[in-house]
Amino acid sequence: MLFTSQNSLPEIWATLSHELHRGALDAKHPFRYVTLATNGEDAPEQRMVVLRKMDEELNFYFFTDSRTAKVTQIQENSNAECLVYHPGKRTQIRVKGRLHIHHQDELSQEMWKRVQGDAQKAYNSTLSPGTEIADPDLAYDWPAELDDRFFAVLQFIPETVEALQLNGLTHVRVSFSKSGADWNGKWLVP
Ligand SMILES: Cc1cc2nc3c(=O)[nH]c(=O)nc-3n(C[C@H](O)[C@H](O)[C@H](O)COP(=O)(O)O)c2cc1C
């Protein structure tokens, strides 16, 4: 368990915040992989992304290719939801917020420095991600010079954080909303 109903809401908040930060720092932590949901044309669309960084304000940072469908969707509607689950602690965290795309700006250029060697190929395919191909080998083609022209950083700015921890008959469900610099918590019926 990450927390119990005996903990105060500020204590639970501190635990949730700590664990989310660990997801960005520890490649083996279950929160390293986030299900990111955006708004497709007529239905939600979800995909896994790697949590690359988490800052003091609990903004999440993901790396992507600016040509992906999610980027187009975010340009249309920046509302999004992030979902993580910790199997060992039986805790689900759902975070609602907005996504901001950083492309060819100071932040994306700074983050690009962290992408070294062959890892740069993930953002440099000759054909755009999602393009239909007649032969799978056509996907493995990159220009001789790799660069950051398609590299984008998604900054997810959280607005509400809801956690559910399963525990037999005593599940615990809490919700926190951002108010200025503070996060106000409340208990919910699981
Ligand atoms: C474990 C895992 C981690 C992934 N991490 C990322 C990532 O950090 N960024 C990313 O753009 N896509 C990542 N992907 C691929 C996405 O899930 C998705 O297939 C791709 O980004 C295209 O999504 P879209 O067409 O909805 O934009 C990952 C996939 C898996 C299975």
Query: What element of type H or E holds 145?
Result: none
Concatenated DSSP letters of 41-109: SSSEEEEEEE--EE-TT--EEEEEETTSHHHHHHHH--EEEEEEEETTTTEEEEEEEEEEEEESSHHHH
Tell me the CA–centroid distance for residue 50 and ligand 1, in Å. Answer: 8
Pocket test for ligand 1, best of 49, 101, 121 (most atoms within 8 A of CB): 49
| Residue of 31, 34, 48 to mutate, ligand 1, most atoms within 8 A of C-beta | 48
Residues in contact with ligand 1 by the CB-under-6-Å rule are 33, 45, 47-50, 62-64, 68-70, 129-130
What the block records as the tokens of 171 is: 């599940």
Output the pLDDT for position 82. 98
Find the helix or strand (DSSP H, E) in which 9 lies: helix 9-25
What integer pLDDT is reported at residue 20 of this predicted model? 98
Atom of ligand 1 nearest to the CA of 69: 27
Give the model confidence (pLDDT) of 2-24 as tens digits: 999 999 999 999 999 999 999 99
Average pLDDT over residues 27-46: 98
pLDDT of 4: 93
How confident is the prediction for the chain on average, in pLDDT? Answer: 97
Instruction: For residue 174, list its beta bridge partners.
Output: 163, 187
Q: Which of ligand 1's atoms lies nearest the C-alpha of 50?
A: 8
CA of 121 to the centre of ligand 1 (A): 14
Distance separating the N- and C-terminal Cα atoms of the chain: 15
Q: According to the model, what pLDDT value does residue 44 have?
A: 98
Nearest Cα neighbor of 49 from 66, 28, 31 is: 31
CATH number of 9-188: 2.30.110.10
pLDDT for 25 = 98
pLDDT at 147: 98
For residues 34-54, average pLDDT:
98
The two structure tokens encoding residue 21: 């930060």
